[in-house]
Structure 1
Amino acid sequence: MTAQQSPHGLMRDIGGLPFASPGFRATPLLTLAASARRKADPIAFPQLVDYLDPVNAAEIFARHARDTPEEIPWTPLSPEQEAEVAATMERIVKAMPEWKPLFSIPTRFRRMEGEYVSSTSALIPQTVFLGDVAFTPAYPLEETLVHEYAHIWMNFIAEIADLQMESALENYTLPSGTGGKSLRGVLLAAHFAAAAVTFYLRSGIGGPRAEERMRYLLDYLDGCNKSTADDAHLTVMGQAVNGELASWAKSLRCEADEKFPIS
């Protein structure tokens, strides 16, 4: 982000938040994220695009990030899991063609050990960890991938300018009841919920429980937004993101009520 460019100006330049609307423009955000990485380590790689490689980015984060990422035990995905991820991403993009640029970025996939569904870390850029349970019918892989890619894209924004002040405590509780979260984490949770609701509303993909899940995520989104509304620890960028999320949530609620009227 240039010195002359405000966070609200950035939102105009990129067309809003990732996954929010067909007007979102991925290239300006990717360019700014790559530039932020190059600023941290100017001579690490010869080309700007090299900074978007997840292996290269992880090296930069390892050398320059203020925090050390929590270790996540992992092994490679099985060939069957790799094929299922690829096929699921194809279904998502076919159903939501405007999201193709969002799923076309360099990304690493890893099999996460333990009874976990999925995870990403801001300190391990563009890396999606998937547990074996993510490949079971209990967890639609479409939603899981939308969830984790939403985090990746919001983390690009946070790389340009953080969403919370350094004085913010990790004492927030998500609508699911998970406590000890950062303010930034609540914004990321709201963003994934909004992206997943958008997917369920507009993709045409979903089983019998899709509407129920969408309604849950709408309430989850509203709960996140209530937690962050007018929070004094939001940075200017955080305020811009928070405002976009609130507007998006209102629009999604109206769309859901029109498409699935509650009798």
Structure 2
Amino acid sequence: MDTTTDVIPVVPRHCGGWPFVDPGLDRQRLLTTVACLRLTRRDGPLTARPAPAHLAEVLNPGEALRIRALDHPRSLPGGPLAPEQQQQVDEAMESIIRAEPGWAPLLSALPVRYVSMPAERRGISASSFAWPQHVLLSGRAFATMPVLAEQVLHEHFHQWLYLCEELAALHHDGCTDRFTLPSGTGNRSPGEVLGATHVATGLQRLWQHLDVPPSVRTRRLDDLAGYLSGCRALLDEIRPCLTADGHALAERLLEASA
């Protein structure tokens, strides 16, 4: 497998960095580029500069899902949240922004639709490249406000990294290597390992400033430190599968989590 790393990575060069870890990220450029790619996939090659309304249209979660289904047809399970649950999600977003004000522009720039996770599905929250800008939340995600804030931020990290993956793959096409995350979750692609590391890096920052009792903060930060240490070790294992962008993200995450 090709492991060449001297190709210039697309996302850092074009967008100025990676979401949530690089203050220099040009989020509007990332969103505009993704929107243009979606328009091209839906309507064919662009013949003129798209109007802002056309860009906004394909950044709507419903239209984003329809366009992704052209290449990744996969039904989205679940239905809408109850109104009180949506209100709790809004409150969780506010608590995240109080903890990390610098993340507010990212959290508000990308429209995300939340749906209720079916009872038969495992996990507390979920998202997928096949379901752009959609997040599944289980009933357990609403146990406490800190738990919900963590899950909401967790899935926003994934959603923004999926945008990056629309511009450039993180691992080589056809790579079949699979890995087990420190949590014990297996059968994860190299890109998913990068995603888990990205999330854990952000959750550490969140819990350092989240409004919780000191004992709760310490316990969660200890858990995250162990998880992140395991993720960092996995980064060496996945390197043969990574593209230039995958390598660039891995290096940036190692710096950010040091």
Question: Is TM more than 0.5 here?
Answer: yes
The SS at the match of 1:83 is helix
Offset of residue 13 of structure 1: 5.1
The one of 67, 70, 73 equivalent to 1:60 is: 67
Give % identity.
33
The SS at the match of 2:184 is coil
State the partner residue of 1:205.
211
Counterpart Cα distance in 1 of 2:13 and 2:240: 24
Whether 1:76 aligns to 2:83 is no
Counterpart Cα distance in 2 of 1:68 and 1:170: 23
Higher relative contact order, chain-length normalized (CA < 8 Å, sep 6+):
2
Offset of residue 116 of structure 1: 3.2
Counterpart Cα distance in 2 of 1:27 and 1:122: 20
Counterpart Cα distance in 1 of 2:222 and 2:99: 20
Q: Is the contact between residue 20 and residue 202 of structure 2 (CA under 8 Å) also seen in structure 1?
A: yes
Counterpart Cα distance in 2 of 1:40 and 1:72: 20
State the partner residue of 2:25.
24
Consecutive unaligned residues of structure 1, counting only runs of 5 or more, are 251-263
The SS at the match of 1:129 is strand
Distance 1:196 1:57, change over 3 A: same
Distance 1:58 1:162, change over 3 A: same
Map 1:135-214 → 2, pairs under 5 A? 135-137=142-144, 140-201=147-208, 203-207=209-213, 208-214=215-221
Q: Is the contact between residue 151 and residue 188 of structure 1 (CA under 8 Å) also seen in structure 2?
A: yes
State the partner residue of 1:246.
254
TM-score (norm: length of structure 1): 0.83
Q: Is the contact between residue 80 and residue 115 of structure 2 (CA under 8 Å) also seen in structure 1?
A: yes
Counterpart Cα distance in 2 of 1:52 and 1:138: 28
Q: Is the contact between residue 218 and residue 249 of structure 1 (CA under 8 Å) also seen in structure 2?
A: no
Q: How many residues align?
A: 241
Consecutive unaligned residues of structure 2, counting only runs of 5 or more, are 1-6
Residues 138-189 of structure 1 deviation map (CA, whole Å, 9 limit, x = unaligned)? 9711111110000001111111011011232252110111111111111111
State the partner residue of 1:134.
141
Q: Is the contact between residue 173 and residue 179 of structure 1 (CA under 8 Å) also seen in structure 2?
A: yes
The one of 110, 113, 120 equivalent to 2:115 is: 110
State the partner residue of 1:253.
none
Deviates more, 1:81-90 or 1:16-25: 16-25
State the partner residue of 1:7.
9
Counterpart Cα distance in 2 of 1:37 and 1:233: 26
TM-score (norm: length of structure 2): 0.85
Q: Is the contact between residue 134 and residue 141 of structure 1 (CA under 8 Å) also seen in structure 2?
A: yes
Offset of residue 21 of structure 1: 4.4
Counterpart Cα distance in 2 of 1:12 and 1:205: 36
Which stretches of structure 1, 4 residues or longer, exceed 6 Å deviation after superposition?
A: none
Offset of residue 72 of structure 1: 4.8
Counterpart Cα distance in 2 of 1:139 and 1:19: 19
Counterpart Cα distance in 2 of 1:109 and 1:138: 16
Q: Is the contact between residue 79 and residue 115 of structure 2 (CA under 8 Å) also seen in structure 1?
A: yes
Counterpart Cα distance in 2 of 1:144 and 1:87: 13
Residues 186-212 of structure 1 deviation map (CA, whole Å, 9 limit, x = unaligned)? 1111111111111112x3423332222
State the partner residue of 1:259.
none
CA RMSD for the aligned pairs?
2.3
The one of 95, 107, 111 equivalent to 1:91 is: 95
2:9 maps to a residue whose letter is P
